[in-house]
Chains A and B, each alone.
Chain A
């Protein structure tokens, strides 16, 4: 069982080393070792230097692609190197490596094709539930996914997710790069992949700046909803042809 953590990093000089060290510490006692790959998305700070100096396994994107393009690079890497499971893992210390086992379980038992680590599924589990606005946004996106794909996803914007071999192949070929988290969820749902959510807790950011700017929330919401509607139509047709 080969497991890969995909860690997209954009200007994460404060966090990235710590994140990789926690993974290596985790590996010392774990049964299943975790490989990781950091995707440096054209950072303007010292992220690349830190990655090189500490010999962390990384791909350096020659230009900034945004989170979607960076994560897809990770899936391509996972596909080429024949990993069984790929896990998206934030480079800013928000995600806890101790949840990896829990998030992989449904995949290993073949009960699901993708597992999303949800902040909202179990209220007690997560101390960091983020702001009211963000939760409202998540609820609206969830509502539209339920309307167009018929399944309730409590945390559609969660960046902590694990996928199996089939989905790795799917994502390596085609991955939505504009609003990756909700869109990829929709693309899998309309193609009858099984998605399971599992409660996780996330930490507040330890340093750096979040990629979501609050001033643009409304703009983001409208476009995501539109993307969900478009994807629920376009992805279905595309894959049916195959």
Chain B
């Protein structure tokens, strides 16, 4: 890989880390996900900066080509992430249903009490 390309990629990754931090600061991301995304960023930076890092690991793990290792890791991570999000969505949906039910029932109760008050006055 040419040095100029490497530098460009590192810069992109640094921007990426910065974007994550900004999202956390704005409370758009939970700490849990911050850890996940920043670990991925840091691993990518190490892989770029340390010479033969990817080659050595893929040889050690027995992949025929380094690119195979990168793709399989990437797919596993993405699958895990989607699974995690599916779980989260289900949980949120259930909470949403409960909220809608409770709010609707409260509204009914408030209306009833208001009407009762009017009658009393």
Query: By the criterion CB–CB under 8 Å, are B101 and A73 in contact?
Result: yes
B9 to chain A: which residues have CB within 8 Å?
A: none
Decide yes or no whether A49 CB sits under 8 A from chain B.
Answer: no
Segment of B14-22, B67-75, B80-88, B104-112 engaged in the interface with chain A: B104-112
Q: Is A177 an interface residue (CB 8 A)?
A: yes
Q: Which residue of the partner chain, among B97, B102, B107, contacts A60 with CB atoms under 8 Å?
A: B107
Choose among B101, B105, B107, B108 the residue that contacts A65 (Cβ–Cβ < 8 A). B101
Q: Are A62 and B105 in contact (CB under 8 A)?
A: no
Chain A binding site: helix, strand, loop or mixed by DSSP? Answer: mixed
In whole Å, how far is A227's beta carbon from the nearest beta carbon of chain B?
14
Known: A65-B97, A65-B100. A73 touches B107 (CB 8 A): no
Please provide the chain A residues from 39 to 94 with a CB less than 8 Å away from any CB of chain B in the complex: 58-63, 65, 69, 72-73, 76-77, 80
Interface 1/0 per residue, B86-118 and A, CB below 8 Å: 000000000001001111110110000000000
* CB pair A63 B101 closer than 8 Å: no
Q: In the bound complex, do residue A60 and residue B101 qualify as a contact, i.e. CB atoms below 8 Å apart?
A: no
Pick from A60, A63, A69, A177: contact of B108, CB under 8 Å: A60
Name A residues whose Cβ lies closer than 8 Å to a Cβ of B: 58-63, 65, 69, 72-73, 76-77, 80, 177
Q: How far is the CA of A62 from the CA of B107 in the complex (A)?
A: 9
* Residue numbers in A under 8 Å from B103 (CB-CB): 62
Question: Bound complex: CA of A80 vs CA of B107, how far in Å?
Answer: 15
Q: Is the CB of A62 within 8 A of B97?
A: no
Given contacts A59-B108, A62-B107, contact A76 B101 (CB under 8 A): yes
Specify which chain B residues have a CB less than 8 angstroms from the CB of A177 in the assembled complex.
Answer: 97
Bound together, the chains give a CA A63 to CA B98 distance in angstroms of: 12
Q: B15-67: which residues lie under 8 A (CB-CB) from chain A? A: none
CB-defined contacts of B100 to chain A, threshold 8 Å: 61-63, 65, 69
**12 interchain pairs, CB-CB under 8 A:** A59-B105, A60-B108, A61-B100, A61-B101, A62-B103, A65-B97, A65-B100, A65-B101, A72-B101, A73-B101, A73-B105, A77-B105
A80 proximity list for chain B (CB < 8 A): 105
Q: How far, in angstroms, from A23 to B30 measured CA to CA in the complex?
A: 51
Residues of A within 8 A of B105 (CB): 59, 73, 76-77, 80
Q: CA separation between A185 and B113, bound complex, in Å?
A: 36
Q: How far is the CB of B108 from chain A (nearest CB, A)?
A: 5
Complexed CA–CA distance, A73 and B102 (Å): 8
Distance in angstroms from B104 CB to nearest chain A CB is 5
User: Are the C-beta atoms of B97 and A69 separated by less than 8 Å?
Assistant: yes
| Residues of B close to A60: CB separation below 8 A | 104, 107-108
Contacts of A59 in B (CB 8 A): 104-105, 108
How far, in whole Å, are A108 and B103 apart by their CA atoms in the complex?
Answer: 33
